[in-house]
Amino acid sequence: MAVMAATKTQRVPPSDGLRGEISVPGDKSISHRAVILGSIASGRSEITGFLEGEDNLRTVEAFRAMGVRIEAPARGRLVINGVGLTGLKPPGGTIYAGNSGTTARLLCGLLSGQTFIATIDGDASLRARPMKRVTGPLREMGAVISGKDEGAYLPLTIKGSKLHGINHTSIIASAQVKSAILLAGLYADGETTVTEQSLSPSRNHTEIMLRGLGAPIDIKSKGLRVTIKKTEALRPFGAIEIPGDISSAAFFMVGALVTPGSGLCIKGVGINPTRTGIIDILTRMGADIELVNRKDDLAEPMADITVKSSGLRGVKISGEELLRAIDEFPVICVAAACARGTTVIGGASELRVKESDRISAMARALAAAGVKAEERPDGIVIHGGGGVRGGTIESLGDHRVAMAMAIAGLASTGGIEIKDAACVDVSFPGFFSLLEGVRAG
C-alpha cells in the first residue's frame, strides 16, 4: 500500500481498436466512504474491491493516524476495526490529504464533531481548491475552524466542538459538501438537513451507506433533501463489495467508441443513477453502449457495460446533465473531438476548481493535439471531425486529463505523448497496462 508519486512521460500510439473483457478498479467515491464510515462504525468491516489509488490511501492513512486498525490482507481488500463514533484519537501530526478533495472535505465535516484538534493539508493543487463551501456551513453548525484566508484554503485546523443541526441549501450541487455536512450531522444536536437545488442530486453514496449502517437518515424529494439526526452508533458493514468505478470505465468506453473495430466488455461497473450521466451523454452522441447482467437490487447497483465502435456526433451538454458526469468532462471532450460536428458544453464553471482547471487544461491539451477547441468562462466548444493529429500534452498533474488524452492518443494519427503521466495513480493504478492489454493493435 505504498503511495507513489513519480513523474513519467507516457506515449500512447494510435490503435486499431480495443477488444476483450476487462474489470476496472473499485469506485473511488465509495472506497473513501467505506473507510470513513467503517472506521467510525462499532465493529469489524471487511471491504473487497477497495481502490488502492493514491487518494484513497490518504484516507486510509488518516484513519490509521487517528488510531483505527486497518489491515490490508490482499489486493483490494481491507479489514477495518471500527472504533465507534467517539473512538477516534488525535492524529500524531498533520493529516496529509495529498491530491484528494474528498479526503480533505469529508474529514473537515467529521473532525468538526470530535473532541480533539487536527490539521489537514494537501498538495499544491488541493491547497488551491476552495474550502469555504465546507467550512462555511460547518461553522454555522458551531465548528471551530481556522486556516488560510479565514478558512478558504488548506491547511485548515479543526478544533472538535459541540455542534448543532442546520438547514443548509447548497448553491453548488456538490457531494463533497453534502457529505461533509452529513458527517458533522452525526454529531450535531437536533436535525441537520442538506437541500440541493439542482434537478437531480449529486452522487448519493454517503446517504446510501449511512442508511445501510442504521443511521437515522431521511431521504426526500427524489434525493434532493437529506436529513440526519444525531447518532449514537453505526453498525459495521460486515462485508461490503465495492463496484468498479464508472468514472474509470468511462475512459475505456470512449476508447472503444472512437477506435475502429472495437468490442469491449467492462465487467461489474457501478451504475448508481447519480453517476450514469456519461452513458446518457455518449448514447445521445450516437454510442453503441449496452448494460448487461444488471444487478439493480443492490444498494449500489452494478452491471457489465458493452461498447462497440460508433460514429459519434456533436451535442449540446448543460451543467445539469454534466452533474451526473462531472468527473467525465475530460473524456467527454475527447469523445467530442472524435465526433462529427460541434459539441458545446456550458454551465460547467465548477470544472475550473477540480484537480486542475479542467476547462483550460483540456482546451490546451486538445489544441496541442491538433483539435479545434475554444475555452469559454463556463465551458468549452469543440469542433470535432477534423481528426486528432497527436503531439505532446501536459497533464498538469491531473489524473483525468492524463487518461483522457491517452484515449485521444488511441484515436490520433501520430500518437500522443503525455507529460507527468504517473498522476493516473491518483485514481487508476495500472491504467496504462490495462489499456495495453486490450489494444487490438
Cell numbers at 81, concatenated:
476495526
Q: Which amino acid makes up residue 27? A: D
Q: At its nearest, how many Å lie between ligand S3P and the CB of residue 196?
A: 11
Q: At its nearest, how many Å lie between ligand S3P and the CB of residue 99?
A: 11
Q: Which amino acid makes up residue 292? A: V
User: Site for ligand S3P (CB under 6 A): which residue of 39, 56, 174, 272?
Assistant: 174
Segment lying near ligand S3P (by CB under 6 A), choices 37-45, 110-118, 168-176, 413-421: 168-176
Interface with ligand S3P, residue 203, by CB under 6 A: yes
Contact predicate 52/76, CB 8 Å: yes
Interface with ligand S3P, residue 176, by CB under 6 A: yes
Interface with ligand S3P, residue 204, by CB under 6 A: no
Look at residues 24, 94, 98 and name the one whose alpha carbon lies nearest to residue 55: 98
Segment lying near ligand S3P (by CB under 6 A), choices 90-98, 175-183, 310-318, 380-388: 175-183
Interface with ligand S3P, residue 259, by CB under 6 A: no
Burial of 10 (0-12, 13-18, 19+ CB in 10 A): buried
Which of 123, 245, 327, 420 is flagged as catalytic? Answer: 327
Q: Which residue's entry shows cell 453503441?
A: 288
Interface with ligand S3P, residue 29, by CB under 6 A: yes
User: Site for ligand S3P (CB under 6 A): which residue of 47, 62, 83, 175?
Assistant: 175
Which residues touch 251 (CB under 8 Å, ≥6 apart)?
331, 403, 404, 406, 407, 428, 431, 435
Which residues touch 309 (CB under 8 Å, ≥6 apart)?
17, 256, 257, 258, 259, 260, 261, 262, 263, 288
Q: At its nearest, how many Å lie between ligand S3P and the CB of residue 173?
A: 7
304 is catalytic: no
Cell numbers at 70, concatenated:
486497518
Interface with ligand S3P, residue 326, by CB under 6 A: yes
Name which of 53 and 370 has its Cβ closer to ligand S3P. Answer: 53
Cell numbers at 21, concatenated:
473483457
Judged by the rule CB under 6 A, the positions of this chain that interact with ligand S3P are 29, 32, 102, 174-176, 179, 202-203, 326-327
Which residues are known catalytic residues?
Answer: 327
